[in-house]
Amino acid sequence: MVNSNEDYDRNDDLKRFDESKAGVKGLVDAGHTTIPRIFIHPPETLSDLKPVSDTPPETIPVIDLSGFDSDRRASLVDQVNRAAREYGFFQVVNHGIPQANLDRTIAAVKAFHEQPAEARAGFYKREGGTGFSYMSNVDLYQSKAASWRDTMTVRLGPTDPRLWDHVPEICRDAVAEWDREVVRLGGLLLDLVGEGLGLGAGRFRELTCLEGRTMVGHYYPYCPQPDLTVGLGSHADPGVLTVLLQDHMGGLQVKSGGVWVDVKPVPGAIVINVGDLLQIMSNDVYKSVDHRVLANSCQEPRVSIAVFLNPSKREELYGPLPELILPEKPALYQHFPFSEFMRRFFTKELDNKSLKNYFRI
C-alpha cells in the first residue's frame, strides 16, 4: 500500500534521485526490493498492463526485404504501405545488417549502462542539444510518475565530425557503425513509404528526413514491482520513422484494434514505426500509433535502441505534402516549423503524448 503521508514531498524525492546521477540502475545496485514512490503509476495507467486478449486477432506484420532492388520491389511497396496504413508498426527481416552488428550494438549500449555509477555520472545531464548524454526519464519533472528505465542519447545528425569525440569509448565504434547501417536501411524505408504514397523517388530524402537522426539506448533493469510501474509510458513518436532494435527479452506493446498487442522479438528483425510527423505529411494516410514498454520482471536487463529519423531543417514548415492534398481530401493539418513541433513534445510528460491533434485543422 502506498503511504499517503501528507508531508510527502515528491519534488524533493525527484531531485534527490536526479542528483544521484545513478539512474534506475543505481537503485537496483543498491539492493532496493521495492520501488520508490516516484515510480508508482496511478491506477488508471496500471489497470490495463496485461493484454486484453491472450490471442489477439492479428500480429504486427513481418516484412522480408530481400530483393528490394528486383522485381519484388512493387510487392514490398505494397506490404510496407499496408502495414503503415493499418498498423503503424512492422518488423523487417533480411534487411542486410549482419546479426553480429545487431549483437554488437546491443552489447555496447548494455556495456555503457553497466559501467560503475561514477563512470556514467560524468555524462549525466538533463539539457538537450547536441552530442552525447545519459539520464533517467526525459520527462522526470513533468510526468505523473517516473518509469523504470535509463537512457543514453546520441544526436547523430546533422553530421558533425566532432560528435565522436564526445561519445564514450566503451560504445563509440559500435554506435558509429550502427548509424551507418541505419542510414542505409532508413533511406530504403523512406523510399518505400514514399512510393507507397505515390510520391516521386527520394521525396522524403529531399525533405532531409534522413538527416536529423537521434539515437536512444534504453536500459530496463530488473524491476522488483513491475505491476506498479512501466518501462516506458504510452505515447506516439513525434518524428517521421523510428528504426528500433530490441533484444530477445520483449516488453514492447502496440495499441491495435483497441487492445495492447505484444511485439514479440523475431530473431534478426528490426522494428519500424510511423511517427506523428509522417502521419501529418501523409495527410492521415499513414498511422502513428500508441505504444509502450512494460517494466522488466526478469533478472536479466532488457536493452532496446531506437533511431528517430527526422528532418534536419528544423525551421522550415512541415505539414501535409502538396501532392497528397486533393479536392476530395483537403489538408487535415496546419503547417508548422519542426522546431516548434519538437519543443511542444518535450515540454509535457511523455505518457499518452501525441502531437497530431494539436496541429489538426
Check residue 51 and give its pLDDT. 57
Residue 194 and residue 204 in contact, taking contact as beta carbons nearer than 8 Å = yes
pLDDT at 134: 96
Please give the pLDDT value at position 129: 62
Written as tens digits, the pLDDT of the chain (361 aa) is: 344 555 678 999 999 999 999 999 999 999 999 999 999 999 888 887 765 555 555 689 999 999 888 889 999 999 999 999 999 999 999 999 999 999 999 999 999 999 999 999 999 998 766 689 999 999 999 888 999 999 999 999 877 778 899 999 999 999 999 999 999 999 999 999 999 999 987 999 999 999 999 999 999 999 999 999 999 999 999 999 999 999 999 999 999 888 889 999 999 999 999 999 999 999 999 999 999 999 999 999 999 999 999 999 988 999 999 999 999 999 999 999 988 888 887 776 555 556 788 889 9
Peptide bond into 158 cis (omega under 30): yes
Contact indicator for 222, 301 with CB cutoff of 8 Å:
yes
**C-alpha to C-alpha distance for 261 and 252, rounded to whole angstroms:** 9
Q: How far apart are alpha carbons 136 and 140 in whole angstroms?
A: 7
Q: Quote helix, strand, coil % in the chain, to nearest 5.
A: 30, 20, 45
- Residue 40 is classified by DSSP as P
- Report the C-alpha dihedral over residues 177, 203, 342, 278, rounded to 10 degrees: -100
Q: Is the dihedral of CA 241, 242, 248, 253 positive or negative?
A: negative
Cα within 13 Å of Cα(357), Cβ side: 5
Q: Which domains does the chain have, with CATH numbers?
A: 24-317 (2.60.120.330)
